[in-house]
Amino acid sequence: MLDIQVLRNDLAGVAARLETRGYRLDTARFGQMESARKDIQTRTQELQAKRNTTSRQIGQAKARGEDVAAIMAEVAGLGEELKALEGQLEQIQQELQTFLAVIPNMPHASVPVGRTEAENAEIRRIGNPPVLDFEVRDHVSVGEHLGGLDFETATRISGARFSLLKGPMARLHRALVQFMLDLHTGQHGYTEVYVPYLVNAESMHGTGQLPKFEEDLFVVSAGSGDTERMHSGEGVAPEGMEGRAVHSSGKSQPRFYLIPTAEVPVTNLVRDSIVPLETLPLKYVAHTPCFRSEAGSYGRDTRGMIRQHQFDKVELVQIVHPEQSYSALEQLLTHAETVLQELDLPYRVVKLCTGDMGFSAALTYDIEVWLPAQNTYREISSCSNFETFQSRRMHARFRNAQGKPELPHTLNGSGLAVGRTLVALLENYQQADGSVVIPEVLRPYMGNLERIRKS
């Protein structure tokens, strides 16, 4: 969430920067709400001053033995008007918060201006795509040939955009998770955390998924036996009731959201708290499944494991001092890159343009891994600095050197998306006989198995 003082001090400047993201700020609406707020606050201050003066007059009149009934009636009237103004002020403040909640973050000055991914800036390429002197298969063909990928059964169990892994393929998926966690905790200094996969609306709001992206989420109403996909339009909560659902019995039930990424529960570890300065930076890593409705992606990546309703990620989160956040972002990016370097997978790093960044980000780097079957690079990690956008929404603070509460900067990145890493391994390490070579760094997690062959 943006600092409302920034809008008050430079509304035109904020609007211009947001315009580069393709977001048109309703400056007229903001001006109307601000004008109403100022009028109410001015009237409130005038009435409070008048009430104080009148109250003193009552004391003086009583001391002189005069009748104070009329003056007391006037004070009572002032109190009623003040109470009404307080209600109006609370309402306009709520309207301002609702207005702010859907405004994206302002891009950092270094972010290239652009509308689409075609205008992202390539930073570097690492590794060379493999030269395969046979007909290249995509990960679906490779996995099904080996008997380790079964989309037909997954569709029968759950529906489209789910996958089933078997045997050595399932173990390879697990090996990737263990390898990533060991790398980040053992070499990069992250603390591993195990977090809930169901979170409340406050947590989703804190990291920016709510209210703007509710259609992309899966929601569960506790005790109702119902799981709802928000983009279907069913079970959408009325305004102000995002954290509750009404059961058929008429009783209000808690609503939980399946996490779209571990970013949500891990970043919310510091929600509504003041972190001691000496504990910064906080560095967390978590492996979780992720659940996304993919409401806006129908018709895209329908084959295979690229875009699923359920997938796994190893997520990196840092909570840092504002003065250190951009050096921390470069560090976090390096940590995610190290996974691909250890796996010897070719990749490139791009800086996203203003129009391609996520809602909450001030600056984002994408890591894209080479997929031979598609003859292109595909995203496998996004590493972002959110500055104070999330911490302001979460009411997360730290005590600075002067002992005063201050908003920290939050960062996160995939280290990595496990399913897409598996896809990259199957395609880059495929052999002419249909087998897949296992990278050396993963073999200790695979019982020293060197290759997956068709059984």
Q: For 216-242, how does the pLDDT look when each residue is reduced to its tens digit (9 = 90+)?
A: 999 998 665 555 544 433 333 433 335
pLDDT digits (tens, 9 = 90+) for 415-431: 999 999 999 999 999 99
Binding-site residues:
261-263, 292-294, 315, 379-382, 412, 414
Which residue positions in the chain have pLDDT lower than 50?
Answer: 229-241, 246, 248
Distance CA 86, CA 77 (A): 14
Binding-site residues for L-serine:
261-263, 292, 315, 412, 414
Binding-site residues for ATP:
292-294, 379-382
Q: Provide the pLDDT for residue 252.
A: 65
Q: Provide the pLDDT for residue 123.
A: 98
pTM > 0.85: yes
Q: Provide the pLDDT for residue 331.
A: 98
Q: Provide the pLDDT for residue 61.
A: 67
Mean pLDDT of the chain: 91
